[in-house]
């Protein structure tokens, strides 16, 4: 067939190219369905987001080291709870007594691996240290808890990063230098060390341990004895073997059990003087504390 003058010839090839270009143009005109996600990309964080595309700005939440204290009174294979002002107990001479107050400082709670390296908390605490007539500034790891048997709660020690295979848990009963010489008036409000009732003065510093006993539960308001330990006692360091593996990004909880029957072993609550009770408690300290478990979770 003859082509008429001026007629346009459309070939299969030119049609194919035109259709492809049309499709591309349509696709480019559509809104994109992909939106980059921001999240925490630090593998040591609790909220590490594996599927995030971009790092977020200051959104990472890091794990905590937590101390869970179990207050117990174990005598003749019978385990009793301890709640000052409510529960009664028998001493080694079968005499009934009751705790009125019971509180003390725990410091420097650390997990240690088989190379001797310790997992420490990230926070630091600035101190004003008093040494006689001299005053100086110092900085220590902010690793403290004021344990109170009247409060059934856990104690968040601080933030931790990293992990590893750990073979022991260590802690100090009480406070060590330079903390024991610090000025309470320079500490932040709400800090465990800012408790004024456990601070004697600039020369004597802190009371590490305070326990008041009702010697006779039939005369609670009349007869009690208070025992306090201060920096004249060298705070004992307690170490407990464990077998614990921690992955980064997990909270760690150390479960510490205190047996107050072991702490008061040999104490005669009716007849012993404050000084005699104090000496017996000091001798019994290392037998009264036990780490029974270490656990991890990412909540």
CB 242 within 8 A of CB 294: yes
Burial category of 282 from C-beta neighbours within 10 Å (exposed 0-12, middle 13-18, buried 19 and up): middle
Q: DSSP 3-state assignment of 66?
A: strand
Return d(Cα 216, Cα 89) in angstroms, integer: 11
Q: Which two tokens stand for residue 93?
A: 């001479």
Helix locations, the chain, DSSP H: 12-29, 260-263, 274-288
Amino acid 242: pLDDT: 96
pLDDT along the chain (299 residues), means of 10: 48 50 56 70 86 82 95 90 89 93 96 95 95 90 96 92 95 92 92 94 88 80 82 85 94 96 96 94 94 89
CA distance 91 to 215: 10
d(CA 60, CA 40): 5
What pLDDT sits at residue 14?
45
pTM (two decimals)? 0.82
> Which pLDDT belongs to residue 167?
97
Cα separation, 235 vs 238, whole angstroms: 9
The pLDDT value recorded for residue 51 is: 81
- Tokens matching residue 180: 């024991």
Give 130's Cβ-side CA count (13 Å radius): 15
């Amino acid at each position: 067939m003859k082509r008429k003058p001026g007629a346009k010839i459309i070939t299969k090839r030119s049609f194919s190219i035109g259709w492809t270009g049309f499709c591309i143009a349509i696709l480019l005109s559509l809104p994109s369905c992909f939106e980059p996600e921001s999240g925490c990309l630090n593998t040591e964080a609790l909220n590490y987001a594996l599927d995030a595309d971009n790092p977020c700005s200051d959104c990472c939440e890091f794990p905590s080291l937590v101390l869970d204290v179990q207050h117990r009174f174990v005598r003749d294979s019978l385990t009793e709870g301890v709640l000052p002002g409510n529960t009664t107990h028998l001493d080694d001479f079968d005499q009934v007594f009751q705790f009125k107050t019971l509180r003390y400082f725990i410091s420097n709670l650390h997990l240690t691996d088989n190379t001797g390296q310790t997992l420490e908390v990230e926070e630091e605490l600035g101190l004003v240290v008093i040494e006689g007539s001299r005053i100086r500034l110092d900085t220590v790891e902010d690793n403290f808890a004021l344990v109170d048997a009247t409060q059934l709660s856990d104690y968040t020690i601080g933030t931790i990063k990293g992990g590893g295979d750990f073979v022991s848990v260590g802690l100090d009963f009480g406070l060590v230098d330079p903390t024991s010489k610090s000025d309470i008036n320079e500490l932040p409000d709400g800090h465990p060390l800012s408790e004024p009732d456990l601070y004697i003065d600039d020369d004597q510093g802190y009371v590490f341990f305070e326990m008041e006993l009702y010697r006779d539960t039939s005369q609670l308001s009349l007869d009690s004895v208070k025992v306090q330990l201060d920096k004249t006692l060298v705070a004992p360091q307690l170490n407990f073997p464990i077998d614990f593996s921690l992955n980064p990004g997990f909270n760690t909880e150390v479960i510490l059990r205190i047996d107050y029957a072991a702490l008061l072993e040999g104490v005669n609550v009716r007849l012993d003087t404050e000084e005699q009770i104090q000496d017996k408690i000091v001798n019994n300290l290392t037998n009264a504390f036990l780490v029974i478990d270490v656990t991890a979770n990412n909540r």
